[in-house]
Amino acid sequence: MSENVNFDELRILRHSASHILAQAVKRLFPAAKLAIGPAIDNGFYYDFDTDKPFGAYDLEKLEAEMKKIVKENIKIERFELEREEALKLMADEPYKVELINDLPEGEVISFYKQGDFTDLCAGPHVNYTSKVKAFKLLSATGAYWRGSEKNKMLQRIYGTAFKTKEELAAHLESLEEAKRRDHNKLGRELELFTTSELIGQGLPIMLPKGTKILQILQRFVEDTEEAHGWLRTKTPLMAKSDLYKLSGHWDHYQDGMFVMGDESKDKEVFALRPMTCPFQYQAYLNKARSYRELPLRYGETSTLFRNEASGEMHGLIRVRQFTISEGHLMCTPEQLESEFKSCLELAIYMLKTLGLYEDVSYRFSQWDPDDKDKYIGTPEQWDEAQSTMQKILEHLEIPYQIGIGEAAFYGPKLDIQIKNVHGKEDTLITIQVDQMLAEKFGMEYVDADGNKKNPYIIHRTSIGCYERTLALLIEKYAGAFPTWLAPVQAKVLAISEKHAEYATDVVNKMRKAGIRVELDLRSEKIGYKIREAQLEKVPYMLIAGDKEMETQTVSVRARKEGDKGAMSIDGFIAHINKEVEEKTLNY
């Protein structure tokens, strides 16, 4: 989108496009029932209740009908009705009736009419359909009415619209690039992960190459955390319901947990853990604590389980079993700000090292005072916790947006947000301030005056969920990982069978030096082998032929720079090890 386009104007244009789509649907599928059709960040959508899903051919027909409506240059007019009249007008549209009935008394009920089509809508819109010239229908999918699985599945059509055809073309090209980078597609093509219907949705199988990347990330995180004073724990994957009742998860998070047993029948009911905090608290409670031991930093590579809705599953971004770099830090009130800063600096270091730092934003996630049942604690405790965190963020000069209702049930948090290639935003890293759970668990320390006090707790991740991080890295680098992260760093390509022994010696020497290398001895032309290695996005290809055997060298071809000439084996090992040590982002 060009910088001189007013975004409000663009939203109006896209909202109008959604009404043109709805009019086209009613013309071609008169029995379809209308739901909602808003403008969104990258376009618009409209939900319909239909007998069968829309297919690709339907989208083609609808787009053609939309073009007819645009060409008809229909005037778009706004009018208002009293509630009774509004309900009569929409009597054949059950979803519109529901929306009208949900409006508070005294609310203005407005409609927009364009020719033979009228829709309940707050607007605004363009004044003629001819103003919507550059648009494209993109996809059709299922969507629950009002986003709830308890409601009927509707058919959602996504589209986009721009002021000019040039802007539309540029956007469509960016969508194609997003498809090329989509981790769900690319990760399977590169044999990083797969899935199985027999195992279940949201439970990916990491293949050897994907597993290797996760292992590299985990070792990097654990070593870095240890250097920053974090002590490692290893806690169970499940616990009795008693633990979750004490923490508050049983009352506030049970729908998101995998529970084993029935409390009305079984003596003990267990649940797989959705987070590690109550487990690490038991490590803190192992003995009496003094202020001299604080801050106490517990870190764990935690496997967690969350019963996500089936409609939320997406590749490695949102799964039901995942691994996270989770940690809990117990400190005094005086240490809170410096420790929060330290947690944030560690997260930023991780993001910069991975090359993701420029892609993130910050959200200060707060409680929703109008939904108190969702949280533990009193309004006074929440005001204190959020005020404390706000002061910390302001002192650290963190630019943030506020997310009302996005807090954890026990405290506010700083969410480090990131978007995938399709523009969907997710939380990558969180740092949370908790002033409540220590008291619930009886966690105390003895201060300098001999008084018992509850520590403040910081819940944090340093790299977030490993699976989600891997998904974002696949998309960031389009599968062409930096050398230090690449599951295969080099491939040795023998030109012919007579070079096999020398190529094997090269591989063995490199493996002893810790380089992840593969050997290609197939009876294929060298050009074919190079092209295949490039498709696999291997950082370096080393060619072994007569000249290389004679000079005890390898001809080096880099994924990015191309031919780099001949190098001694020791010289190449030194070169690649320097890249790995410096964690160079050469993609």
Q: Do residues 464 and 196 touch, judged by C-beta distance below 8 A?
A: no
Summarize pLDDT for 363-389 with one digit per residue, the tens: 999 999 888 888 888 888 898 889 988
pLDDT of residue 323: 96
pLDDT of residue 262: 84
Give me the numbers of helices (H) and strands (E) for the chain, helices first please: 18, 28
pLDDT of residue 410: 86
Task: Tell me the pLDDT tens digit for each residue of 41-97.
Answer: 889 999 999 999 999 999 999 999 999 999 999 999 999 999 999 999 999 999 999
Q: Using the predicted structure, report yes or no on whether residue 543 has a pLDDT greater than 80.
A: yes
Mention every residue, 6+ apart, whose C-beta is less than 8 A from residue 585. 355, 482
Percent of the chain with pLDDT over 90: 83
Check if the beta carbon of residue 305 is closer than 8 Å to that of residue 257: yes
**Is the pLDDT assigned to residue 1 strictly greater than 70?**
no
C-alpha 328/C-alpha 477 separation (Å) is 31
| Per-residue pLDDT reduced to its tens digit, 95-134 | 999 999 999 988 889 999 999 999 999 989 999 999 999 9
Condensed to tens digits (0 to 9), the pLDDT of residues 176-194 reads 999 999 999 999 999 999 9
Can you tell me the mean pLDDT for 545-570? Answer: 93
Separation between Cα atoms, residue 167 and residue 170, nearest integer Å: 5
pLDDT at 238: 96
Sort strands 425-434 and 445-446 into parallel, antiparallel or unpaired.
unpaired
Predicted confidence at residue 8, as pLDDT, reads 87
- 238-240: strand order across its sheet: 238-240, 270-272, 259-260
Question: Are the C-beta atoms of residues 213 and 487 closer than 8 Å to each other?
Answer: yes
Asked if residue 164 has pLDDT above 50, the reply is yes
Q: Is 316 left (phi over 0), alpha (psi -120 to 50) or beta?
A: alpha
Write out pLDDT tens, residues 133-146: 999 999 999 999 99
Contact 412, 435 (CB under 8 A): no
pTM summary value:
0.84
- State pLDDT tens for residues 281-340: 999 999 999 999 999 999 999 999 999 887 777 889 989 999 999 999 999 999 999 999
DSSP 54: -
Q: Reply yes or no on whether the pLDDT at 5 is more than 60.
A: no
